[in-house]
Structure 1
Amino acid sequence: MGISLKKLKHQVVVITGASSGIGLATARMAASKGAKVVLAARNEAALQQLAEELRSKGCPTAYVVADVGKEEDVRKISDTALSEFGRFDTWVNNAGVSIFGKAMDVSTEDMKRMFETNFWGVVYGSRMAVKHFTERRVPGALINVGSLFGDRGTVVQSTYSAAKFALHGWTENLRMELEKEKAPVSVTLIHPGRIDTPYNEHAMSYLEKQPAHVGMMYAPEAVADAILYAASHPTRDMFIGSQAKLTTVLGRLAPRMMDKWMEGTMFRTQHDNRPSNPREESGLYQPGYGMHERGTNSGWVRNRSWYVKASKHPVLSAMALTGLGMYVWNASKNNKKEQVPYS
């Protein structure tokens, strides 16, 4: 993108949805790497506890209680960063919530509420970040956290998927306009696969059984690693795990096959065998519980994403793949020579 970003240890990083899951892991990792952080979420008790934790480790920290679905609250996040630190260098739009239920069962009221958080919250945050970076004329990073379900539709989470599709579209359109204007903004879209966070516990559920990831998932630290890499290295997209990348690629190359695969697997791998939490306890209209990075999912967790590691070192990865390809090709040639009978 032709933009040079500061090293993370010299940055002020704004993180929405910082009280749990990916946001919490990102805040802790950013602090450990020397960044100053501005935490935003609806759960004030969790924010206060996290701020005290990070400050006790020597990290300058500010927090603001904010509902990103309200533009005036997002403005408060920006104002807090400016009043506490005089600037911010990276803005991470991470806050989000889901609804589990069939498309025809979910109320339009609940759908609209989710879009306020998952889509409009990203729009408000993006506009605040771009305004700040362009006015300062100092390069900054805007990082929007999407989903594999923003690249490929799914069942049972139709509203969440639709909101993430909208988020992805907004991010791509904004990136192109800013690039055309030569604005000093690096725009990155994060594509997480299934991540072991309290995301399912915070969701509004229309199901009889509790939403949960069943099968392979990734640790939230893998997403935090990708986010913070993009904060100091201009990057268009970061996919968290081959799971996310393959779902996207196959969804485009073989859409009908992926329809059938989704229909055959996703109805049974998005809930656990226990009663669903009551809807009134969900985080759709009120803050969910905080200070938990991991959720109560069923399956196995990969603590790192080799796909993220490869994305951070594309030249070395390409050289390694080329070397592997040459080795396989030479091995196959030698094998053929050995099989040629002597006359």
Structure 2
Amino acid sequence: MEHRYKPLDRQTIVVTGASSGIGLATARRAARSGAQVVLASRSEEALRKICDEINNSGPGRAVYAVADVGDEVQVQNIAEVAVKEFGGFDTWINDAGVVVFAELRKLPTKDHERLFQTNYFGIVFGSLTAVEHMRNRLGGGTIINIASTNADMPVPILGGYSATKAAVKAFSDVLRMELLEQDIPVAVSVVKPSGIATPISEHGLSHMEDRGKVMPPLYDPEVVARTILAAAQRPVRNITVGGTGRFTSIARSLVPGLADRAIGWLLPRVQSTGLPKMPDSNLHSAGEDGQVYLSGQRQGLRASPYTRARLHPNLAVGATIGLAALFLMSQRRR
């Protein structure tokens, strides 16, 4: 059976972590393009409001499933809702994630385990559930797993989070190999955002003296949403969203010893806000959701030329050839 991509207006798309941040931005954008969306998170109140908003504005339709992605049975229920409401799904986006700001020596085991239960096992349960439902579907389907640039460049204070994202990338790469070997028509994409201006730090638990934050510069969540939905419509293997994340990953691979010292000194200082800790977090239970942006206000870099070039390599090659031709013409005139 052959894998076939479809335009968004012919797709049913499952999005976990859909009640805030990247997941919410992606769900709204997909629905505006005409997709049918199944939204999943732990926050029923937020999900209900978001679905009402989407269904009232159209053209896409939305339903929701309340689920903790760290529970395999609840993840399977998301798929059952999609089958019941829309007859199945074409793309499954694993976006749900949590964060803890802490040195590894000060990260409680229960919190460390919960990071993996949500960030890693949530993607494992989602991916394997999606494969079972899509393997015999006409045209197959697509799984899009949201990792992080921290999968390639782990950093202090977010050590536990970095470890989960490295595990997500490894799992996704091996799953892709197995699906290819078994001729199962399910594609796997890994999207690795740089720092994004979502409320994740406001939802995060801090074991530091103050509230933590994601290292700037930050990108607009819409940049990630566009990338995710591009991967839902054409082949995208592994892609970093944001040139800053890619640059720092390359720099660390070139001079790892120097980078370790610099990052080890800089990151704990850059990720400190000096603000009081948030009274609650969404690590062990649902928090306050419904916002795409950090502090509820649109912010962050609204474009990534690097990511756009990766998604449109022919345009990048054309631009390079054009610049080279202009350079050669200028040299000849001299």
Normalising by the smaller structure, the TM-score range is over 0.9
The offset of 1:312, in angstroms, is 2.3
Q: In 2, Cα distance between the equivalents of 1:310 and 1:42?
A: 36
3-state DSSP of counterpart to 1:120? helix
Q: Which amino acid aligns with 2:48?
A: Q
Q: C-alpha deviations, 1:115-152, integer Å up to 9, x for none? A: 00000000000001111111224221100000010111
Asked if the contact 1:212/1:297 (under 8 Å) is kept, the reply is: no
Asked if the contact 1:141/1:234 (under 8 Å) is kept, the reply is: no
1:39 equivalent in structure 2: 39
2:50 equivalent in structure 1: 50
Q: C-alpha deviations, 1:280-336, integer Å up to 9, x for none? A: x111001121111111399x72012222222221111112123223434554x459x
1:113 equivalent in structure 2: 114
Q: TM-score, normalised by structure 1?
A: 0.92
Asked if the contact 1:141/1:186 (under 8 Å) is kept, the reply is: yes
Report which of the two has the higher share of strand: 1
Q: In 1, Cα distance between the equivalents of 2:21 and 2:262?
A: 28
Q: In 1, Cα distance between the equivalents of 2:120 and 2:40?
A: 17
3-state DSSP of counterpart to 1:68? coil
1:86 equivalent in structure 2: 87
Q: Does 1:165 align with 2:179?
A: no
2:217 equivalent in structure 1: 216
Q: In 1, Cα distance between the equivalents of 2:282 and 2:261?
A: 31
The offset of 1:24, in angstroms, is 0.6
1:262 equivalent in structure 2: 263
Q: C-alpha deviations, 1:10-57, integer Å up to 9, x for none? A: 000000000000011001100000000000000010000001000101
Q: Which amino acid aligns with 1:295?
A: L
5 Å matches for 1:161-310? Answer: 161-278=162-279, 281-296=280-295, 301-310=300-309
The offset of 1:277, in angstroms, is 1.6
3-state DSSP of counterpart to 1:216? coil
Q: In 2, Cα distance between the equivalents of 1:96 and 1:223?
A: 15
Asked if the contact 2:215/2:267 (under 8 Å) is kept, the reply is: no
Q: Which amino acid aligns with 1:305?
A: S
Please list every run of 5 or more consecutive structure 1 residues that lacks an aligned counterpart in the other structure: 339-343
Q: Which amino acid aligns with 1:45?
A: E
The offset of 1:250, in angstroms, is 2.1
| Farther-moved stretch of structure 1 (9-18 vs 283-292) | 283-292
Q: Which amino acid aligns with 1:248?
A: S
- Residue identity (%): 38
Aligned positions, number: 332
Q: In 2, Cα distance between the equivalents of 1:49 and 1:114?
A: 27
The offset of 1:186, in angstroms, is 1.3
Larger radius of gyration: 1
Q: Does 1:316 align with 2:302?
A: no
Asked if the contact 1:8/1:33 (under 8 Å) is kept, the reply is: yes
Asked if the contact 1:22/1:223 (under 8 Å) is kept, the reply is: yes
The offset of 1:181, in angstroms, is 2.1
The offset of 1:245, in angstroms, is 1.3
Q: Which amino acid aligns with 2:116?
A: F
Asked if the contact 1:150/1:161 (under 8 Å) is kept, the reply is: yes
Asked if the contact 1:196/1:297 (under 8 Å) is kept, the reply is: no
Asked if the contact 1:4/1:234 (under 8 Å) is kept, the reply is: no
The offset of 1:267, in angstroms, is 1.2
Q: TM-score, normalised by structure 2?
A: 0.95
